[in-house]
Amino acid sequence: MPMTDGGNARFRLLPDDRYLGWTPYVWLVYFPSLFIQPWFTAAPQSTWVVTSIVGLVFLPLYFRGYWARGREAYAIIVIIAVLGAALVPFNSSGFVLFIYAAAFAGTQRPTSRAGLMLGVLLAIVVCEALVLQLPLQAWGWAAFFVLMVGGLNVHYASVRMADNVLRRAHDEIEHLATVAERERIARDLHDLLGHTLSLITLKSSLASRLADRDPERAIAEIRDVERISRDALGEVRAAIGGYREAGFARAIASAEQMLAAGGIEAGVAVEPVKMTPGEEAVLAFAVREGVTNVVRHSRASSCSVSLAREEGVLRLTISDDGKWKRALDGTGLAGMRERVDAIGGRLTIVRTAGTVLTIELTHGAPQLVQPSTTVNHDNRSAPVHGVA
Which tens digits make up the pLDDT trace of 96-113?
A: 899 999 988 988 888 888
Nearest to 376, CA basis, from 324, 310, 331, 330: 324
Q: pLDDT tens digits, residue range 1-10?
A: 555 444 444 6
Question: Measured in Å, how far apart are the chain's first and last C-alpha atoms?
Answer: 61
Q: What is residue 370's predicted lDDT score, i.e. its pLDDT? A: 38
Grade residue 170 by pLDDT with cuts at 50, 70 and 90.
low
Q: What is residue 384's predicted lDDT score, i.e. its pLDDT? A: 33
Instruction: Tell me: do 120 and 267 sit in the same domain.
Output: no
Least confident span in 45-49, 123-127, 209-213, 319-323: 209-213
For residue 82, what are the domain limits? 2-173
Distance CA 388, CA 142 (A): 76
Q: What is residue 177's predicted lDDT score, i.e. its pLDDT? A: 67
Judge whether 240 lies within some domain. no
Residues in Cβ contact with 326 at an 8 Å cutoff, skipping those fewer than 6 apart: 385
Q: Can you point out the beta strands (E) in the chain?
A: 2-5, 8-11, 265-270, 302-310, 313-320, 346-351, 355-362, 373-375, 381-382
Residue 304: which CATH number? 3.30.565.10
Least confident span in 234-243, 302-311, 342-351: 234-243
Q: What is residue 329's predicted lDDT score, i.e. its pLDDT? A: 53
Instruction: Tell me: do 258 and 342 sit in the same domain.
Output: yes
Judge whether 196 lies within some domain. no
For residues 295 and 347, the answer to whether their CB atoms sit within 8 Å is no
Q: Which helix (H) or strand (E) segment is 183 a member of?
A: helix 136-210
Instruction: Tell me: do 43 and 146 sit in the same domain.
Output: yes
Cα–Cα distance list, 266 to 216, 248, 300, 318 (Å): 24, 17, 11, 11
Grade residue 320 by pLDDT with cuts at 50, 70 and 90.
very high
Sign of CA dihedral 165, 166, 167, 170: positive
Distance CA 157, CA 106 (A): 8
Judge whether 47 lies within some domain. yes
Judge whether 283 lies within some domain. yes
Judge whether 158 lies within some domain. yes
- Does the pLDDT value for residue 314 go beyond 60? yes
Nearest to 302, CA basis, from 266, 268, 269, 349: 266
pTM of this structure: 0.46
Grade residue 361 by pLDDT with cuts at 50, 70 and 90.
very high
Instruction: Tell me: do 254 and 376 sit in the same domain.
Output: yes
Judge whether 206 lies within some domain. no
Q: What is residue 352's predicted lDDT score, i.e. its pLDDT? A: 79
Distance CA 59, CA 238 (A): 61
Count up the domains in the chain and report the number: 2
Grade residue 127 by pLDDT with cuts at 50, 70 and 90.
very high
Instruction: Tell me: do 259 and 129 sit in the same domain.
Output: no
Q: Decide: helix, strand or coil at residue 106.
A: coil
| Amino acid of residue 197 | L
Q: Burial letters for 96-106: b for 16+ Cβ neighbours within 10 Å, e otherwise?
A: bbbbbbbbbbb
Name the DSSP class of 373. Answer: E
- Does the pLDDT value for residue 380 go beyond 50? no
Least confident span in 170-184, 239-253, 268-282: 239-253
Largest CA distance in the chain: 120
Judge whether 12 lies within some domain. yes
Q: What's the rounded mean pLDDT across residues 323-351? A: 77
Nearest to 336, CA basis, from 236, 271, 251: 251
User: Which of 111, 138, 173 is the C-terminal boundary of a domain?
Assistant: 173
User: Which of 128, 145, 173 is the C-terminal boundary of a domain?
Assistant: 173
The rounded mean pLDDT for the chain is 79
Give Cα 293 to chain centroid, integer Å.
Answer: 35
* Beta bridge pairs of residue 304: 267, 319
User: Which of 173, 207, 230 is the C-terminal boundary of a domain?
Assistant: 173
Grade residue 260 by pLDDT with cuts at 50, 70 and 90.
confident
Grade residue 359 by pLDDT with cuts at 50, 70 and 90.
very high
Instruction: Tell me: do 160 and 264 sit in the same domain.
Output: no
Instruction: Tell me: do 260 and 163 sit in the same domain.
Output: no
Sign of CA dihedral 165, 168, 173, 179: negative
Q: pLDDT tens digits, residue range 149-160?
A: 888 888 888 887
Q: What is residue 62's predicted lDDT score, i.e. its pLDDT? A: 87
- Does the pLDDT value for residue 247 go beyond 50? yes
Grade residue 363 by pLDDT with cuts at 50, 70 and 90.
low
For residues 229 and 267, the answer to whether their CB atoms sit within 8 Å is no
Instruction: Tell me: do 34 and 159 sit in the same domain.
Output: yes
Instruction: Tell me: do 169 and 263 sit in the same domain.
Output: no
Q: What's the rounded mean pLDDT across residues 73-93? A: 90
Planar angle of CA 179, 182, 184, nearest 5 degrees: 110
Judge whether 212 lies within some domain. no
Distance CA 141, CA 220 (A): 95
Nearest to 50, CA basis, from 58, 41, 61, 40: 58
Residue 140: Cβ within 10 Å count: 15
Grade residue 328 by pLDDT with cuts at 50, 70 and 90.
very low
Q: What is residue 150's predicted lDDT score, i.e. its pLDDT? A: 87
Q: What is residue 250's predicted lDDT score, i.e. its pLDDT? A: 81
